């Protein structure tokens, strides 16, 4: 009997973790459906892959786009099902909450939270057929919040809860759900986030800079460090593969030295001490060199 080719849908597959995962799974013989928002990105991703990889236009904030993508995948894999769904699409909005643009905040949740749920809902009939697995890409920021990235942290907090609930609700149907919680990863999200943050600053009133200038300075340093010293996205893909293929996938995969340090500190220090440590870091690293 011919072994059935395993199938997976990866959202946000045009760059970073999603692109790396698409190419690794393709090399391993999976039939990969790479969700991208632009045709040129799909063509580029497919150019470096085998004939099995198919790119699909998929905007996780657009119900029509989601329906079209899932219907296309369903026709392609009929009568089989979907063995894996990797919810990777995400954006990062940085701003002090006092001055965050509410439309930007809504966009943060539309992509990272509502889009994740919408794609999962649409894909579940195919996942049920194959007793497939769901892998959500979260962040240590979903467990340890920090100033200036409140919108992003809040969205990843939501992904934590959603992943737990999906695991409990779908587990009896044979559908495992895992959450990946990396720290800093060297992906284009840093560059995109920095650009978005710079644009947002042009809309802030003068008092925003009076109150948060040290935060802004520290944010720039954090972005530069993340771009340079974040872990390789292939390490995240290693965890995605374990979640998709292990007989007993973990509920959570924490990775990255910075992620472990942040989580340990939050676990052992009283909340007031942790807040004080954060404020000392802002004063130390947010003050311009003289």
- Given the residues 30, 55, 152, 204, select the one marked as catalytic: 152
* Annotation says 253 is catalytic: no
| Partners of residue 178 on adjacent β-strands | 135
Phi-psi map region of 34: left, alpha, beta (phi>0 left; psi -120 to 50 alpha): beta
The dihedral region occupied by 12, where left means phi > 0, alpha psi between -120 and 50, and beta the remainder, is left
Q: CB–CB of 18/34 below 8 Å? A: yes
Beta bridge partners of 137: 180
Whole-number Å distance between alpha carbons of 136 and 111 = 13
Dist CA 199 CA 210 (whole Å): 18
Which residues does the annotation mark as catalytic?
A: 152
């Amino acid at each position: 009997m011919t072994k059935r080719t395993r199938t997976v849908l990866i959202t946000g597959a045009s760059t970073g973790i999603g692109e790396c995962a698409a190419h690794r799974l393709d090399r391993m013989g999976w039939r990969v459906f790479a969700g991208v928002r632009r045709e040129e990105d799909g063509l580029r991703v497919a150019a470096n892959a085998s004939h099995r990889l198919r790119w699909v236009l998929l905007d996780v904030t657009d119900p029509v786009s989601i329906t079209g993508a899932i219907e296309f995948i369903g026709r392609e894999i009929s009568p089989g099902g979907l063995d894996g769904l990797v919810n990777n699409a995400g954006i990062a909005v940085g701003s002090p909450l006092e001055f965050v643009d509410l439309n930007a905040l809504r966009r943060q949740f539309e992509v990272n939270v509502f889009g994740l749920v919408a794609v999962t809902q649409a894909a579940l009939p195919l996942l049920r057929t194959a007793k497939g697995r769901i892998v959500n890409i979260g962040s240590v920021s979903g467990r340890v919040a920090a100033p200036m990235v409140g919108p992003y942290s809040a969205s990843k907090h939501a992904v934590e809860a959603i992943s737990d609930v999906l695991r409990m609700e779908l587990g009896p149907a044979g559908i495992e759900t895992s959450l990946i919680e990396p720290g800093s990863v060297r992906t284009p999200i840093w560059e995109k986030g920095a650009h978005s943050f710079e644009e947002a600053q042009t809309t802030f009133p003068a008092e925003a800079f009076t109150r948060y200038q040290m935060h802004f300075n520290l944010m720039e340093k954090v972005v530069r460090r993340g771009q340079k010293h974040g872990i390789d996205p292939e390490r995240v893909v290693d965890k995605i593969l374990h979640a998709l293929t292990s007989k007993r996938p973990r509920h959570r995969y924490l990775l990255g030295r910075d992620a472990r340090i942040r989580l340990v500190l939050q676990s052992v220090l009283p909340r007031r001490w942790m807040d004080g440590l954060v404020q000392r870091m802002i004063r130390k690293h947010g003050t311009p060199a003289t």
